[in-house]
Amino acid sequence: MNVHTHKTTLSYRALMLVLTALTLIAFICSLSVGPAGIKTVDMLYALLSVEPSTAAVIVQEIRLPRALLGLLIGAALGLCGAAMQGYVRNPLAEPGLIGVSASAALGAVITIYFGLSAMYVWILPFGGMLGASIGVAVMMAIAGRESSALTLILAGVAVSTMAGALTSLALNLAPNPFSSLEIVFWLLGSLANRSFEHIWLAAPFILAGMALVLTLGRALDSLSLGEDTAATLGIDLRSVRLKIILGVTASVGAATAVAGAIGFVGLVVPHLIRPFVGHRPSRLLPASALGGAILLLFSDVAVRLISLGVELKLGVFTALIGTPIFLWLILRMRHQYV
């Protein structure tokens, strides 16, 4: 009997190894691609160089923060998507479900609207993170303390809708065509032109949030059997709910605040990975984090390679490739979720 067990463990290790290797490859690709056309070997040399050559400035100050953010944000979206789907036991859940993405976007847009974002790098992401916190606080007030996953979804939808409406209002009242263009471009999501200041600001929240969510594996496993059975298995549902809200708010809020709304990664990645981990939520969490990082890093490479005169926005690209993947998944899985 134990032979079985060891076999699954081994294949899980193999999966994690493959995903880690792919993440590394995607990260190196991200460092290697850009208008400067630096060869991968030269890029690695420039990465480690201490001399302030143009190549070193480009690789260390422009491409490295971009690749690191791709890694962090992709992982946060993949992880939180998997956690949300596990928590509400609904394969259509996405990380922004509790209203965090929409309110982070609103906070960021407000800083653009008032022309504050051009003053310092940190103002826009800070506005985004503030927006996320306020949005989620409102969501929790609406949902109440003892809420089930369903009321959480409904309150999240209410907050998302409100934040979306206020974002549209900001666009509607934008003082001039340039600020509306800036808002629209920001909303489409991008990792271009991000600096280490973005990382110092967002990474602590993203990492802390992810750490919190990663502790929920076992609770999410038992939630496969519903909230009642999970509770009788010793799971404290209130603490799980609080942890998932705080974890997702910190990591997805900070991710959205820095990169704008990047859809579909958190929705699609858990689906792609789930069959490889025997559909177990606990194993899906770390695997989905790596999967999200891979998808986002490669997407960010693709937007730089696809030449349409101007760089494609990352959020547009992930939606463009995410939708067909999602449709294919729905068709393939239709029998499972009837």
Q: Residues in the site for other proteins, rule: CB under 8 A?
A: 1-2, 4-5, 34-36, 38, 42, 51-55, 57-58, 61-63, 89, 112, 115, 117-118, 120-121, 124, 172-179, 181-182, 186, 192-195, 197, 215, 218, 221-226, 228-229, 231-236, 274, 278-281, 309-311, 336
CB nearer other proteins, residue 194 or residue 241: 194
DSSP letter for each residue of 114-133:
TT-TTT-TTHHHHHHHHHHH
Q: Which is nearer to other proteins, 179 or 249 (CB)?
A: 179
Query: What residues contact 170, with CB distance under 8 A and at least 6 apart?
Result: 106, 109, 110, 113, 183
DSSP alpha helices (H): ranges in 89-173?
100-113, 123-143, 149-172
The whole-angstrom separation of Cα 183 and Cα 170 is 9
Closest approach of Cβ 119 to other proteins, in Å? Answer: 9
Following CA atoms 70, 215, 230, 79 in sequence, which dihedral angle do they give, to the nearest 10 degrees?
0
CB of 147 to other proteins, least distance (A): 15
Output the six-digit token pair for 156. 């999240």
Q: Which is nearer to other proteins, 88 or 139 (CB)?
A: 88
DSSP category for residue 277? G
Q: Which is nearer to other proteins, 181 or 327 (CB)?
A: 181
CB of 1 to other proteins, least distance (A): 5
The smaller minimum CB distance to other proteins, of residues 7 and 161, is found at: 7
Residue 233 carries which side chain, given as an amino acid letter?
A: L
Tokens representing 335 are 């029998």
Positive/negative CA dihedral, 77, 78, 80, 82: positive
Q: Is 279 left (phi over 0), alpha (psi -120 to 50) or beta?
A: left
Q: How far is the CB of 138 from other proteins (least distance, A)?
A: 27
CA distance 181 to 281: 40
Q: What is the nearest approach in angstroms of other proteins to the Cβ of residue 137?
A: 26
Q: How far is the CB of 64 from other proteins (least distance, A)?
A: 12
Residue type, 148: S
Least gap, CB of 58 to other proteins (angstroms): 5
Distances (CA, A) of 13 to 22, 245, 269, 330: 14, 29, 18, 28
Work out how close the CB of 3 gets to other proteins at its nearest, in angstroms, rounded to a whole number. 10
Q: Give the SS3 label for residue 334.
A: coil
**Between residues 206 and 216, which has the closer beta carbon with respect to other proteins?**
216
Q: Which is nearer to other proteins, 136 or 188 (CB)?
A: 188
Cβ closer to other proteins: 22 or 122? 122
